[in-house]
Amino acid sequence: MFSPIVHRMHYPGPFHLRLGGVLPYYELVFETYGELNADCSNAVLICHALNGSHHAAGAYPDAPHKRGWWDTMIGPGKPVDTNWFFVVCANNLGGCFGTTGPMSTNPQTGKAYGPDFPAVTVEDWVHTQAHLADFLEIKCFAAVMGGSLGGMQALAWSYLYPSRVAHCVIVASAAKLSAQNIAFNEAARCAITSDANFYAGRFYDYGVVPTQGLRLARMIGHITYLSDHAMAERFGRRRSYSLEEPRRSKGFGIAALEEGQQAPLGCAENAKTPDYTQAIDTQFAIESYLQHQGEKFSRYFDANTYLLITRALDYFDPALGFKNDLSLALKPAKSDFLVISFTTDWRFAPKCSRDIVEALLVNGANVTYAEIHAPHGHDAFLLDDVQYLSVVSSWFKRIIV
């Protein structure tokens, strides 16, 4: 079995964050796959999205069903081929999977940071990832790659550390969020902060978790990751009747891959159709699916981390300091770019990717852009669409040559 190796890096600090916060020190937990070659030229950095973690690919020996969130993409013989590349993925600063974050102890108070954890930005993450590269003695990544929020980090790498990233792969991402996108994030944040168990972010002190808020936040997010078509196809107006193990879902990456488990979808196609005029508590399959996703998420994700990360998403706007001219912001970039979007993605629509491409074209950068016809919405970036994987695979073969 293909197993990742989990590591930890201690950065002595102090680390000054972009929005003014200071951390006396921090720790990053990260996974590696494959072997770093002698001249350290085969390293690929994977950047995770909102609810991802450092567990990007493979499975731990003691939990073989928990495949990494981008297991379709990374592994031996896969598009990012670990027979050739040394792949690194770290849990971002402020995260809740072992990296220093709101759940960690604040050395000044001896209690969890909670809401006192300083605001982080995409650029801060990139700087911590650069510290990680120093730690691993990687002078230049062969590629930095990410989807969604991860794509923002890959983009930021290209202009913050132009000489340290040879190729940059940006999938289903944007150079800034739209008002609608920020609106979804705000609704999710309000769901969390209005939970009675949130205690202004100090819920750890009370031994509770704002479960309801997290569930709702996750449900809102999840709706936006799927296309109308994909939802109709998978759930339609079917009604759920049990939470028994269903057949493996091919259509829902975030659900299926994030925790690595086969997600009980709570629906059965040939179930006897209940008469919902008789029983008002009868659920539609989509309801049980969302509730299951929300419930699962609330068990492993930290509420303060969710607030921090969605803020980082909202704030990202490299063109802001350049009179909104993205091409000026990207001027320092020297990498070759691969930009990918999905036709049915309405959370990070193709237009957002085209804006990045346009800015790169103005700069005369080496850029390839693929617009994948996939029906699944934003979720498609985690799935195994043939054209998508073949584009990435051909691109990475080019890096090897």
- Give min distance, CB of 354 to another protein, in A: 6
Active-site residue identified among 48, 55, 124, 148:
148
Rg (C-alpha) for the chain, rounded Å, is 21
Active-site residue (options: 292, 378, 379, 385): 378
CA distance 203 to 218: 19
Buried b / exposed e along 357-383 (16+ C-beta atoms within 10 A) = bebbeebebebebbbbebbbbbbbbbb
Would residue 345 show up in a list of annotated catalytic residues for this protein?
A: yes
| Distance from the first to the final alpha carbon of the chain | 28
Q: Decide: is 84 part of the binding site for another protein (CB under 8 A).
A: no
Task: Give the x-and-dash track for 323-362 against another protein (CB under 8 A).
Answer: ----x--------------------------x--xx--xx
Extract the runs of DSSP E, i.e. beta strands, from 311-362: 336-342
Does residue 391 bind another protein (CB under 8 A)? yes
Q: Which residues contact 236 (CB under 8 A, 6 or more apart)?
A: 285
Q: CB of residue 300 vs another protein: minimum separation in angstroms?
A: 37
For position 398 contacting another protein by CB under 8 A, the verdict is: yes
Under rule CB under 8 A, residue 319 binds another protein: no
Note if 281 is an active site residue.
Answer: no
Beta-bridge partner residues of 5: 32
Q: According to CB under 8 A, which one of 22, 109, 390, 400 is a site residue for another protein?
A: 390
What is the number of residues in the chain? 401
Amino acid, res. 283:
Q
We find the least distance from the C-beta atom of residue 305 to another protein, in angstroms, to be 35
How far is Cα of residue 140 from the mean position of the Cα atoms in its chain? 23
Give bridge partners of residue 338 from the DSSP assignment: 169, 368
Q: Which of 369, 374, 378, 382 binds another protein (CB under 8 A)?
A: 369
Quick check: 20 binds another protein (CB under 8 A)?
no
Under the binding rule (CB under 8 A), the answer on residue 36 touching another protein is no
Instruction: Summarize as ranges the residues that interact with another protein (CB under 8 A).
Output: 327, 354, 357-358, 361-362, 364, 366-371, 373, 387, 390-391, 394-395, 397-398
Catalytically active residues are: 148, 345, 378
